[in-house]
Amino acid sequence: EMQLVESGGDLVQPGGSLRLSCAASGFSFTNYWVTWVRRAPGKGLEWVGNINQDGSMKFYVDSVRGRFTISKDNAKNSVYLQMNSLRTEDTAVYYCARDQRFFDYWGRGTLVTVSS
């Protein structure tokens, strides 16, 4: 069974950092792009960024570019979202998803709360 599991969400102060992880089972990240999507409280889904099969290509939404970095460890079948200089508006549930132009498998999400 194909599964994605996010972890690493926490309460962090503005300006702080956090690293989220996304682990896959049932398929190999070696063969797929992976996307991060977030949903802030009371708002809709927002695409955050993605990474290609070998980690050589990455794209980000403007609001996180320069602060967030996506990386991949194919040996561990995991993808990471390093979030620096966090802002209150980054508070959201963060989902990872397998990306084949569309997002066919999603994790359950991990909650990031940025607050003092």
Partner 1 sequence: DIVMTQTPVSLSVTPGQPASISCKSSQSLLDSDGKTYLYWYVQKPVQSPQVLIYEVSNRFPGVPDRFSGSGSGTDFTLKISRVEAEDVGVYYCVQSVQHPKTFGQGTRLEIK
Per CB under 8 A, residues contacting partner 1 are 35, 37, 39, 44-47, 49-50, 59-62, 95, 97, 101-104, 106-109
Residue 109 per-residue DSSP state: -
Residue 64's nearest CA partner among 42, 45, 86 is: 86
Pairing mode of beta strands 11-12, 110-114: parallel
Nearer to partner 1, 79 or 107 (CB): 107
Shortest reach from residue 56's CB to partner 1, in Å: 15
**At closest approach, how far in Å is the CB of 4 from partner 1?**
9
Nearest approach, Cβ of residue 62 and partner 1 (Å): 7
Q: How far apart are CA 80 and CA 88, in angstroms?
A: 21
Judged by CB, which is closer to partner 1: 29, or 60? 60
